Amino acid sequence: MPKPVRAVIFDFFGVIAYDQDPATRERIEQVLDVPAPTLWQRYWRYRRAHDLNELDGREFWRAVADTELDAATTARLIELDVASASRVDDSVVDIVRELGEQPVTVSLLSNLPLDTLRWHQEHTPVLAEFADVRASCLTGLAKPDPAAFNSAITRLAVSPEEAVFIDDQEANVTAAAELGLHAVRYHRGMDLRSTLAALMSSSPSESVPTV
């Protein structure tokens, strides 16, 4: 007998929250005297360490700029970085809230810098809907590290086959699927509600696209 789905685990950026806003990215580029391609190459080179809180906001932007920055400039860059990914997708938020009325546990597993997490804890009400928030800056574990997924399901007291994981990044979805979770690669406009309904009612003999 297949095990019923008991938990749905959401990613944050690219699923609940929109990806970086292009207009705010341009404002970041205006603050730093660094060519845009170089800036964003460095940004993503050091972002994982920032997500893990190995680099705080000051250290992260110092690495991106490749020079010392004054306190006001650093504060402005942190503010813009948080603002660039501050918009949430209300249609996904509605699904989170609907799941909260069903016999499943809803949680969050996301690679998040500490400043960004703190902002969303204060300004994004949907975070209160999650039974557990696994943020990389607090756990020291970042996707697609299998330990990040194992930490999430252990906290929820479910087995991999009892959990659905939703993320927009292929590497994260693949890692979750390899551990046995029902892994859904999300993209804007997909019918996530129907995908979840199918997973939560399916048996092994039924074909449900999860990766």
Residue-level pLDDT at 201: 85
Give pLDDT, residue 33: 87
Domains of the chain, with CATH numbers?
7-18+87-201 (3.40.50.1000), 22-84 (no CATH)
The reported pLDDT for the residue numbered 202 is: 65
Beta-ladder partners of 13:
17
**Euclidean distance between CA atoms 35 and 67, whole angstroms:** 14
The answer to whether 172 touches 144, Cβ cutoff 8 Å, is yes
pTM listed for this prediction: 0.92
Is the bond leading into 160 cis (omega within 30 degrees of zero)?
Answer: no
At residue 182, the pLDDT reads 97
Specify the pLDDT at position 85. 87
Q: Would you state the pLDDT for residue 206?
A: 37
Concatenated DSSP letters of 120-133: HHHH-GGGGG-SEE
Contact between 165 and 182 under an 8 Å Cβ cutoff? The reply is: yes
- The mean pLDDT values, 10 residues at a time, for the chain of 211 residues are 90 95 94 95 98 98 97 97 94 96 96 96 95 97 98 97 97 98 96 95 46 42
pLDDT at residue number 45 = 98
The whole-number pLDDT of residue 1 equals: 65
CA distances from 194 to 12, 39, 62 (A): 20, 40, 44
Cα(166)–Cα(92) distance, rounded to whole angstroms? 11
CA distance 132 to 69: 36
